[in-house]
Amino acid sequence: MAIITLFWKDQIGLTLSEILLLQALFSITCVVLEYPSGYLSDRLGYRTALILASALAILGWSLYTLADSFCGVLFAEAILGASWAFISGSDNALLFETLRYEGCEERYATYDGRMASCAQTGEAMGALIAGVMYAAWPLFPFLAQIIVWIACLFICLSFFEPPGETGIVSHSHLREALDTCHLAFKQNKVIRSTILLGTVLGLASFYTVWLIQPYMQTNEVPVEWFGPVWAGANLTVALGSMLSQRLTVSFGTAGSCMLFILMVVVGYLGLALIDGSWCFLWYYVLTLMRGIQGPYMRNRLQNAGKRSNRASLLSLHSLCFRLCFVLTGPLVGIGADRIGLANIFLLLALLFALTLIPLAVAFVRTPAKY
């Protein structure tokens, strides 16, 4: 991740518009498979889903080493999208079910934060050496990814999954899947408000993932800094994840929503209005917000669901996020190419403020019961 945008631009020759289009197509793959994969995870087991995801990731990164065009990268991204779809929801649901099996599901938010923190810290460690690896040989980081996912495969094979009603359905599989959608978007206001607010907050921290590297290039940030900057971004997500439970309990539902909105607006305004080598620090405001809101939203969804639909609800959340990115990501990329990064960040600050406020109000008005 620390060098992927540079790889696309310099080695494959993609423009910013093509990069955002590529990620939109990646998201389409996730959209197509997101909910079916979550439903299959609930039926076949979370361990099985994660094993399949690891195998697909090994294949996807192997194909990346052979890619030399937009189509080649797109094919590899499609395989990785399928892998991500099977991971999405399965890892968090397995954590929740494990804690429930041990009689301590009330600690889910704490452990979710720790899991996210460890993941982001690991990515930060990788980012510190990614630039050196890329400079030595552009494909070096991709070979390292293959090794990482082989290790993931063996870890998933060692998992124990708590017993549950996996595979049991009272109606047809299609009816069960549609019933879960109906529950999420019509019957249960807690689930609906959580998915909608979480989706927009996710978008707020996701656009900058693909724009921050060219933004730093525009502001003449030394390329040697790119790895450490990316590591710093991951460490702020890790910090936010670790502090999530404590902060959200202290601030309460309304206060947490106000904090999220403030961080989004301040982060984008800082990127839009302040230049210089240290401009990327405003990006950290958004990554910190991402770390805080992630465990909070997932905990709310986990408690609103049950064993038979837990991964499905998490996948629906991811599906909404991916679908919204498919519809808006290319437009953001086109805007960045035509009016400049600073102007697109300023526009996003305004649009997110106008969108998040009514969603936050609906979120606060549907308190969750734990």
Q: Read off the pLDDT of each residue in 109-117 and give the average, rounded to a whole number.
A: 87
Under CATH, what is the fold of the domain 4-159+171-364?
Growth Hormone; Chain: A; (1.20.1250)
Render pLDDT for 214-266 as a digit per residue (tens, 0 to 9).
899 888 888 778 778 888 888 899 899 999 989 999 999 999 999 999 999 99
254/287 Cα distance (integer angstroms): 21
* Per-residue pLDDT at 309 exceeds 80: no
pLDDT score recorded for residue 247: 93
Q: Read off the pLDDT of each residue in 262-275 and give the average, rounded to a whole number.
A: 94
pLDDT score recorded for residue 260: 97
Going by pLDDT thresholds of 50, 70 and 90, the confidence category of residue 168 is very low
pTM for this prediction: 0.74
pLDDT score recorded for residue 127: 77
Q: What percent of the chain has pLDDT over 70?
A: 93
Where in the chain are the domains? 4-159+171-364
